Amino acid sequence: EVQLLESGGDLVQPGGSLRLSCAASGFTFNNYAMSWVRQTPGQGLEWVSAISGSGATTYYADSVRGRFTISRDNSKNTLFLQMNSLRAEDTAQYYCTRDRGSINKNPHDFWGQGTLVTVSS
């Protein structure tokens, strides 16, 4: 059974940093690209970032490029999102997702339950 368990969400001040983690199990982790997708309270969904199965290639939404860094440790089946220079508009539930393939351009076929990031003074 595919399982994705996010952690690291917290209350942080504007300009601060946070690192999210996602522990994956139930599938061959390095065979799949992974993504982070966020959802603001009561609002819709926004794709944030993706990384290829090997970790060699990364992709970012314009809204986070230069501030967020996605990475993965395939030896530990773990996905990360380093978030710097956080803004109020980054407040959201952050979901770790498995992409339906090893490279970009695939839908999200499994989702974690999410971790909440709140940016506020």
Q: Please work out the total of residues on this chain that contact other proteins, with binding judged by CB under 8 A.
A: 21
How far, in Å, are 8, 42, 49, 52 from residue 66 at the CA level?
20, 27, 12, 18
Strands (E), the chain: 3-7, 11-12, 18-25, 34-39, 45-51, 58-60, 68-73, 78-83, 92-99, 108-111, 115-119
Interacting residues with other proteins between 46 and 85 (CB under 8 A): 46-47, 50, 61-62
Segment interacting with other proteins, rule: CB under 8 A, options 9-17, 20-28, 38-46, 72-80: 38-46
Task: State whether residue 89 is helix, strand or coil.
Answer: helix
The residue from 18, 112, 117, 119 that contacts other proteins (CB under 8 A) is 112
Q: Out of 32, 52, 95, 119, point to the residue binding other proteins (CB under 8 A).
A: 95
**Are the C-beta atoms of residues 8 and 115 closer than 8 Å to each other?**
yes
Determine if 111 is a binding residue for other proteins (CB under 8 A).
Answer: yes
Residue placing its CB nearer to other proteins in the complex, 17 or 113: 113
105 touches other proteins by CB under 8 A: yes
What residues make contact with other proteins under the rule CB under 8 A?
Answer: 35, 44-47, 50, 61-62, 95, 100, 104-114
